[in-house]
Amino acid sequence: VCVCNATYCDTLDPVVLPAPGTYVKYESSKAGKRLERSEGSFQPTLHAPELLLTINVSMLHQHIKGFGGSLSDAAAINILGLSRPAQDHLLRSYFSESGIEYNLIRLPMACSDFSVRPYSYDDVPNDYELKHFMLAEEDVNMKVGSGGHWSSAMSKRPLSLFASPWTSPAWMKSNGDVRGKGTLKGQAGDKYHKTWANYFIKFLDEYSKHNVTFWAVTAQNEPLAALLTPPLFPTIAFTAEHQRDFVIQDLGPALARSPHRTLLIILDDQRIHLPHWAKVVLGNTTAARYVAGMGVHWYLDSIVPPSWSLEATHKLFPDHFLLYTEACSGFLTFRFSVSLGCWERGDRYSHSILTVLNNFVAGWTDWNLALDMKGGPNWVKNFVDSPVIVDSSKDVFYKQPMFYHMGHFSKFIPEGSRRVGLHSSRRCLLCQLEHVAALPPAG
């Protein structure tokens, strides 16, 4: 790990393209290299290389949206638990030109499990006009500053924020509680679904008053995983058919009527549901017009090959993007939620990103930007790991291998890049190298 505090944190120089005939290499290693830069020249050789990579810039694939992480309540609490100079170092590490230049930030709409309490924005029963809708103190006191202004002031790249709801107010849910398994009451097109759709618009309205705009919203965080989560988790369950009808009759029209140019992302769940979920929702032409893309979580990726899920979905619906919207290590583990300096967890990040980029995914979003030494706070004790771990008692934070693995992508593949053709041929069985090639927007 790299230990950062109020007076020190490692930095990166701005990326400068090498001269013709030369290359720049950035290397991170288990031995301690952290995006270490070196230069070299291409040399003609009489010997055939053991591994040959051939780039084809005329073979253009998906546009890249970007890379980032999530400003959960827990992340905001940990960032704000540091002194202001240490906070600045943490945010610069993620967003500035001297850092890894994230451009995506995901925000939960109201509480997630990574909150310190369950809450919604309107707990007044039967308030179908949402007259009592109000952002929480977590939004106003923590996120508007840390998520909106600090990071954007440090970033040279435009930031894209997207929001995801975990739960509706209790009075809209079938079980009468923001916690636990339940669906929205009623059915698509009724007063509950209209109100829930307008809840999204009110959220966008209230944030816009603080000069924070959202590139996209997801229709629901993990709509099917909601059926499997422990009883205290904040959730709403949707089937693909229910989400399709909600998009057609309620959420799609509400977003279209609103002054916000916010895109809509469906699924926001595991890729085992693809391409089925896409066929159900995007197979309806009305729903497809309202939807920009599909969000994917990484937790069950080992169950289904990417070609069967991601590539198959892209081939069916090439005009709708695929974006990884959540991933973390240390979940459901009997070992350690937080494992400081664990190189293997960083390796898994890189393996996932390389795999999904090569299967038409447009970007990759980590879960919490920062967590404490236990992997929280989390009010249901679902502690996990994060690329940045904060020890506020010492006013320090630790940048883990996952942070540097993320940087190998976020730093060098800016928004607007295109994945291009890359062919490998090797003469030795041990020359295993995962790879991807992208052309930046400037060419």
The pLDDT of residue 302: 95
**How does pLDDT run across 337-364, given as a tens digit for each residue?**
999 999 999 999 999 999 999 999 999 9
**Which alpha helices (DSSP H) does 358-411 contain, by range?**
401-410
Find the helix or strand (DSSP H, E) in which 53 lies.
strand 51-63
- DSSP result, 149-181: IIHHHH-SSPPEEEEEES---GGGBTTSSSBSS
Q: How confident is the model at residue 153 (pLDDT cuts 50, 70, 90)?
A: low
Q: Which residues, 6 or more positions from 425, have their beta carbon under 8 angstroms from its beta carbon?
A: 51, 52, 54
Catalytic residue check, 326: yes
The single residue listed with the structure tokens 């904040």 is: 234
The pLDDT of residue 145: 64
Number of C-beta neighbours around residue 11 at 10 A: 12
Catalytic residue check, 129: no
The pLDDT of residue 334: 58
The single residue listed with the structure tokens 């299967």 is: 359
Query: What is the pLDDT averaged over residues 192-205?
Result: 99
**How does pLDDT run across 325-334, given as a tens digit for each residue?**
999 999 876 5
What is the rounded radius of gyration, in angstroms, for the C-alpha atoms of the chain? 22
Predicted TM-score (pTM) of this structure: 0.96
**How does pLDDT run across 246-294, given as a tens digit for each residue?**
999 999 999 999 999 999 999 999 999 999 999 999 999 999 999 999 9
Span between the terminal Cα atoms of the chain, in Å? 34
**Cα angle for residues 203, 208, 209 (degrees, 5° grid):** 105
Q: Which residues, 6 or more positions from 443, have their beta carbon under 8 angstroms from its beta carbon?
A: none
Q: Are 166 and 146 in contact (CB under 8 A)?
A: no
User: Among the options 101, 138, 222, 415, which is catalytic?
Assistant: 222
Report the C-alpha gap between 155 and 158 in whole angstroms: 7
Q: Are 438 and 414 in contact (CB under 8 A)?
A: no
Q: Are 271 and 304 in contact (CB under 8 A)?
A: yes
Give residue limits of the domains in the chain.
Answer: 48-62+416-443, 65-414
Q: Does domain 65-414 have CATH number 3.20.20.80?
A: yes
User: Among the options 138, 311, 326, 415, which is catalytic?
Assistant: 326
